[in-house]
Amino acid sequence: MSQAVLLNVPSLVKVDDYHEFDALNSHYRKLNRNLRVVEIEGLEFTGQYVGLVYLFGQKPAKAVVARMLKQAGCQQANVRKRWNH
């Protein structure tokens, strides 16, 4: 019997090594082929790299991402940085 997985998107993820974004992308695409995980370039938070999980074609605005970062406790939440596709 399969189990349902609930994932709120958009959401933030933190990883120790930026190479982990490829593995996360692969894993999430097995759950839903429209899920994307991208690194928010140039932003480290508590010594980890920060990424954004969203549905393909529905990438959130920078203001939304900035609010999410601020709620997570990141002080650099102005998000002048960009994220990869």
Domain ranges of the chain: 11-71
Q: How confident is the model over 14-34, as pLDDT tens digits?
A: 999 989 999 999 999 998 999
Length of the chain: 85
Residue 85: pLDDT band by 50, 70, 90 thresholds?
Answer: very low
Beta strands in 1-85 (DSSP E): 11-15, 35-45, 48-55
Q: Does residue 10 have a cis peptide bond before it, meaning omega lies within 30 degrees of 0?
A: yes
What's the confidence (pLDDT) of residue 48? 84
Distances (CA, A) of 4 to 31, 32, 58, 85: 10, 12, 22, 27
